[in-house]
Amino acid sequence: MKRIGMLTSGGDCQALNAAMRGVVKTLDNAKEDVEIYGFLDGYRGLIYGDFRMLTGGDFSGILTKGGTILGTSRTPFKTIKDPDENGLDKVEAMKQNYYKLKLDCLVILGGNGTHKTANLLREEGLNVVTLPKTIDNDLWGTDMTFGFQSAVNIATEAIDCIHTTAASHGRVFIVEVMGHKVGWLTLNAGMASGADIILIPEIPYDIDKVIEKIEERDRKGSRFTIIAVAEGAISKEDAKLSKKEYKKKMENYPYPSVSYEVAAKIQEKTGREVRVTVPGHTQRGGSPCPYDRVFASRLGAEAGKLILDGQYGFMVGYKNREIVRVPLDEVAGKLKYLSPDATIVQEAKLLGISFGD
């Protein structure tokens, strides 16, 4: 009999349930005698031994269900080695719960921070298999993460809906898309919805260049402009600051987010009416799109096969349209940034999209 622990960590997203279902169905169809221990609320459940036994019935009917049946939480890697408020060694506690339950493997679904902790557990001698979850699509070692395409669909629909009211009122509309460090989601949603300007963290913007694009559209008879802005978009001036200087500036930041700063500066310099829309956590919610259902199921199936083969210490990734096994130590601690020179960026510019540079 194989004893498998399973947890979902970090921000939730679509297709977590689909991926877990893929793992369990693969093991079940292989006629493997398996016990599944689901740790509740991410690493917190593994630390404090909060789990429940899962049966096949728990994975029935969840292919289309958003969120995660196990619950999730954020357990920052930078504090994972610090004792908790009661002095508990969190890493040692996770190891002890693993051994207490006589687990053969931990299946961990999560993003960048989750993978850093997963790799730490691997280094501590635990058998670990991971699956790449994040709407940001910023995990190293995989061309795609599950949840990303569903989030693109939602953000695209939000911008689509803005088009009609922007055109009716002749306004500049800013839609703020999730993505603190990378711009994959904003770029794809912006291109899919016909945004005129896209501001992402990897390409610092010049507000005067943004205004130039708005005024160019005015001259051509376009009454409105749609701007897709990533949460982590940054101006050229701020990009030149040191981390310490930028942190100090943000302590007295007068705006709710960068989108409101961009809006305020456009209004100040042009007198144009600007509106900001923030879809927020709707981008993480709802049912997974068909692409993510298939993709997460494929990843889950390969994770199940890794367990059957006794191959641990891998993330199941996606490279060149094929499911691959990527060593965890190659993934942990690395972000997949969107290069300003990427072909998709250059193609967007050919279409007339401005990045404010």
DSSP string for residues in 127-193: -EEEEEB-TT--BTT-S--BTHHHHHHHHHHHHHHHHHHHHHHT-EEEEEES-SS--HHHHHHHHHH
Q: Which fold has domain 2-147+288-331?
A: Rossmann fold (3.40.50)
pTM for the complete prediction?
Answer: 0.94
What's domain 151-284's architecture? 3-Layer(aba) Sandwich (3.40)
pLDDT of residue 293: 98
Catalytic entry in 12, 136, 138, 196? 136
What pLDDT score was predicted for residue 59? Answer: 94
Known catalytic residue: 136?
A: yes
CB atoms under 10 Å from CB of 48, counted, come to: 17
Residues β-bridged to residue 227: 174, 197
pLDDT tens-digit profile of 212-222? 999 999 999 89
pLDDT digits (tens, 9 = 90+) for 270-322: 988 899 999 999 999 999 999 999 999 999 999 999 999 999 999 999 999 99
Q: In 3-state terms, what secondary structure has residue 280?
A: helix
Q: What pLDDT score does 15 carry?
A: 97
DSSP code string of 293-354:
HHHHHHHHHHHHHHHHHT--SEEEEEETTEEEEEEHHHHTT-B----TT-HHHHHHHHTT-B
pLDDT value at residue 252: 87
Quote the CA–CA distance of 326 and 337 in Å, as a whole number.
18
- The whole-number pLDDT of residue 284 equals 94
Q: Which two tokens stand for residue 348?
A: 């967007």
Kindly list the domain boundaries of the chain, sorted by start residue. Answer: 2-147+288-331, 151-284
Structure tokens at 259: 């989108």
Residues of the chain with pLDDT under 50: none
Task: State the pLDDT at residue 160.
Answer: 95
What 8-state DSSP symbol labels residue 36?
Answer: E
pLDDT recorded at residue 168:
83
Q: Characterize the bridge pairing of strands 51-54 and 34-39.
A: antiparallel
Tokens of 314: 């891998």
CA distance 274 to 161: 16
Q: In what order do the strands lie in the sheet with 172-177?
A: 197-199, 225-230, 172-177, 274-277
